[in-house]
Structure formats: structure tokens, C-alpha cells
Structure 1
Amino acid sequence: MSHSTFTDLLKKYQLGTATESERKVVEQWYALIEEEPRILDPEEWNTVEERLWQKLAEKTGRPADPARVAAVPRPQKLTRYVVAATFLLAAMLLGFLLLRYPGEKAPADTGAIAGLKSVRNTDEKEISVLLEDSSTVLLAPGSELSYPEHFRSDSREVYLSGEAFFVIARQAGRPFFVNAGKITTKVLGTSFRVKSSHDGAEIEVSVRTGKVSVYEKARKNNGRPDKTGNSIILTPNQQVTFREENGAFITGLVENPEILPEATRQHPVLFDYRDTELSKVLADLKKAYLIDLELEKKSLGDCPLTANLGGKDLFVQLDLICAAIQGSYQIQGTTILISGRGCE
């Protein structure tokens, strides 16, 4: 196995993106050097590789050189050392073959990431996970969350496979990172949902409250997340879908936008209108949902509206508005465009 394959596999194992067969290979390495799996700094990877080959040398009585250890011995009487070497090398070659020719694709799954606590929801309903910082995670059925028992002093970081809704405790100067597949979501204090497909090829992030930064995941030399490539900022009732095949971020609105309590707490809006200009109605909706609502023609804003929109979902409210102005609406990214004949 080449040095690059070795380090790439260690990276995947630590990030929780390794398949079941890949995880078994890495755990086999750790077992060979008699060490518990843990998070390693990149500087330690070479040391682990050297120890691995040294252990092979000790067990086989041959030089600690990968090229020599892997060489086919000349025909000779099989000693117990050669037998031991045969079994060890067979195990490593089996691991390599599993990586190169895995057969049926293994499902994306974080498993138990070294050095982290891992919770998998085997129930049929969401379960609640309370983190050290008082943040709460509602973990969907079949999903898994990995997190440290104690967060770093300057950041908080977890790993998700599947779907979860996060309610993050705000801590200035201590951002919260959610790693899911190939993207990272960064927040300070907010509530949002992350949902990844079974194979990690498509990941969706939707925001309930606060502001969220989503970007393709990379690693600095010290192993901590860093921004790179595409990135986007999301606000309440917005969502983004990341597609691994082309690295594209597709923005839009959540399926069912909700009124933000903080937006109407001091000045509640009843949404009950009598001959009210449409521009005023849309201003109320913008304030309540924090969603951009635009008119195709400015003159539409002068149209009077008489309707009780209270207690109805946003899209039902829009249907009633469009019926009154003989119009329609379109969702364009994170903006809703309203058009119509007007109030002639």
C-alpha cells in the first residue's frame, strides 16, 4: 500500500467518511501496533506508518522496510516467522483489496470516530442529544452523531451522518461546526437542520433561526476546518442543497416557512386586512418570515387587499393574495416574485 493511500485512509477515518471495510482496515492497523484508535495530528501519520512496519518486522524477523516486507520470499522451509509474516501480509493485502475492489458500495456512515462519543438513533422517532455546551440535537431515525466529551476552548465541532435538527447555544468567539459529508456548517448560536443522503452525495442545510455559513470542507495543517471553494450564507427560512458530483450549492426556501417569533414579538401582526395596500401586506410578511417578496410591477403595490391571512401558511397566504390581484407567484432562489394583472 502506498504512502498516499495510507494517509488518505487515515484522513477519511478521522473525518468519519470511511466505509465499513475501510474502517476495519484502519482498526486492524491500530490493533497491530497495540494502540486504541484516536484522532491524530497530520504530523503523527508518518510515525504511525513507521511503527506499523516496525511491528511487522518484529513479528517476522525481517527488516522494517515496506518494499522488503512485501517482497515474495524465495522458496524455503516455512518457519514460524514466515508463517506469521504470511498471515500479517495477507491481512494487509486483504484490506488493500477491500479498498481497491469493494464490490457493493458500502453505505455512508460515520461509525464510531476515534476519540469521539457516538450516538446512533435506532428508534423510530427523533431522539434528543444534549451536548456539553447546552446545545441540543434532535437526531432523526437511522442517523448518527459523533462529538467530543469536551469541546475545544475556541471551537465546537461535531460529525453527522443522516439528519438532525440543531439548537445551538450562543457562545461568542466559540463557533460551532457540523461536518456532514463534504460540507461544513458554521454557526455561533442558531437553530437549523442538516440532512444528508444515504451515500452523502447530496446534503441539505435549512435554517430556522439565526445565520449559518455553509462551505465545502477542507482541512488546515492543524486538522481544523477551513473555508475553501464554494460557500454561502443562509438566513431564516432559507436552505441550500450541496451536490457532490459538481460541487454546486443550490439555494431556495424551506418547504414550510415559519413566522419568526423574535420578528413579531414586540409588534404582533394579525394579518387581518381591510382595503390595505398590497405593499403594506407584503412588508408585514417580509418582517414575519424574513423572506424577500418582490413585485414584478411596482403598480401592484397600490392594489387594495381585504382578507384575513392569520393562522395560514405563507404559501396559502400568497395564494389568497394572488387570487385578489389575478396573479401568481414564483420562487426564484430565496426570493418570491409576485406578478399579475393588478387591480384595474
Structure 2
Amino acid sequence: MEPEEIYLLITRYLARQTSPDENEQLAAWVGHSPENERTFEQLKAVWQASQTPHEPAETAAALRQVKARLARPVAVLAGPPPVRRWRLRRPYQVAAWVVGVVVAVGGGHFLTNPTAAMEYRVSRTLARQKQQIHLLDGSVVTLAPQSQLRYPTTFGETSREVYLEGEAFFEVKKDARRPFRVHSGSWTTQVLGTAFNVSAVPGTTQMAVSLLEGKVEVFDKQDHYLLAPGQQLRADHATGRIYRQEFNAAQVVGWRTNRLVFQNERLADVAAQIERLYGVKLVFADAGTAEVRLWATFDNEQLPAVLEALQLAGSLECRREGQVIYLRQVAAKPAAE
């Protein structure tokens, strides 16, 4: 893939026009090297700045600048040797190229003063670990176990953008001039100031945004959804269904105090919570075991107590080998005559 092709793929991804296969292709390219990741972040910073609306006169002037930059010799964006580890020549050259794509893909916003790429920090948590992050705007993020938050060292003048993999609880400081956006999976959750939980754990079939206070708007590739306090937006990747529902706050944010609440939930759907909170791996003997329904509440219990309760609540047999828990459904004993 030529440099121009990867730049176009990135801008199409930012415009939410890529397919799942293209997203995987881009993720593989970004993860190939730190240099590729820096390239991606620079292009994304230019794209985000280009989404700021301008007056018609400013837009026309910006378009003239873009056309002038794109008229430079193609050698400006010439690819490197066959090793294909692409490198940005100069920020303004890449900015010009990306803004040209914005004209074609985004249709309407142009960048007059390309900004340098933002500096980001990344906070990661391990299993059984939680972390509280205080952002410079006064917002507080509580990061769940086995999760990652990427955020700029300084927010921009028009928005506050953070990137989540996993689960986190957000308490956002109100700022009417700068919306706060959480990018998680294929969703973007936008707020001004509120308290909400986002769960977008890689490898799971469920994704959810749960609103406790204020108001949020969730965007996906096709639509957007407004939530009121007490509402949850949930996506089931297996069926493609997206729906709103009421939720139990203790069930959704109980992880903050090591509390697990299961109300008629499939073992397959709650396994990730147990794994992240206790640092173990659950292995099901068969598909039937994964479908076992659980009714149970654990208030900061130790792992042995949780396993014992699972056996009673779900007619399960548990066998532990180190940090791996093997689960098997057992037939219910017939009632005594």
C-alpha cells in the first residue's frame, strides 16, 4: 500500500466510512511500529482541527491555500524505499494532503492553520487494578481493570477528545464551549458535563453507555442517540442490535467498589467482568456452560467465595489450576422422593 493510500484510509476511517475489514487493516498498520502510530496521531490531529466550522470567506481562503499546497510536486508525498516504513516529511505537507481529502470525504470544513500533532498520555490498568485519572479540565475518569485511556496533555480550544479501550466511569466538568467526546470502539459519546459509564471491552459481544446524570449523545456510523439519566444504550455485536433500556446503577458501576451484580445474565456475558476484577481466565467446557444464567451479588468478595457461589447459583462445577478456572455445567440432582 502506497503512502497516499494509507493516508486516504486513515481519513476515511476518521470520517466513519471504512468497513470492518479496512478497520482491521488500519489497526494492523498502526500497530506495526511506533512510527506508524505517530503518523496516525498527526493525521488525526489535522482531521480533528479541520472539523471546526469557519465563515464562508475563511473557507474560500482556506480552499485556495489547500489547492496551492496540493499543486506542489508529487514528490512531496513520494513513498520511501520498498521497506514501506512511511515517514512524514514535514507536518504542513501532510496537513495539506489530508485537508485535500477532507474536501472530498468530509465535504465542507477546511483547515486554515494546520496545528501540530497533540501530545498524548496513555493510562493502562492490569487485572484487579483500577486507576483514577484527573484531567486538566477538572474531569475525573475512573479506569476499570484491564482498560486503557488515551488523552491529550492539553485539550484543544474547541473540544475535549479522549480514547477508551475497556471500561471507565466519567465525571465530566461542564464546559459549554468545549464538548467532551469519548471515542470507544465504533461509538463516540459526546457530553458537556455529566456522569456516565462506558463499557467497550475488546473481544466481548456487548458495548454500552450508561448515563447517571446530565445528558449524552452517542454517535455510531449510521445514527445518533440521545440518553436521559437512568437510560443505557447497548449494542449486541452478535446480532447487530442497538437499543435503549433502563439499567441498574449498582449493576453497571459496582465494579468501582468491587461489587458484582448478576441478574439473570449469561455466564458468557459476565465472564469478562470476573476475569478483569480477579485476574483469572474462565474456560467453559462447552456451549451449554456459557449459556448458564446467573442470579448473584458479590460485595468485594474473595475469589474462592465467588467460585463457591457460582457453583450454587448456576449448577456449575469449578476446577482451578493457578489463574485458570475451568467451568462445567452439572445436571441438577433429582428431588428426593
The interval holding the TM-score normalised by the smaller chain is: 0.3 to 0.5
TM-score where L is the length of structure 1 = 0.46
TM-score with structure 2 setting the length: 0.47
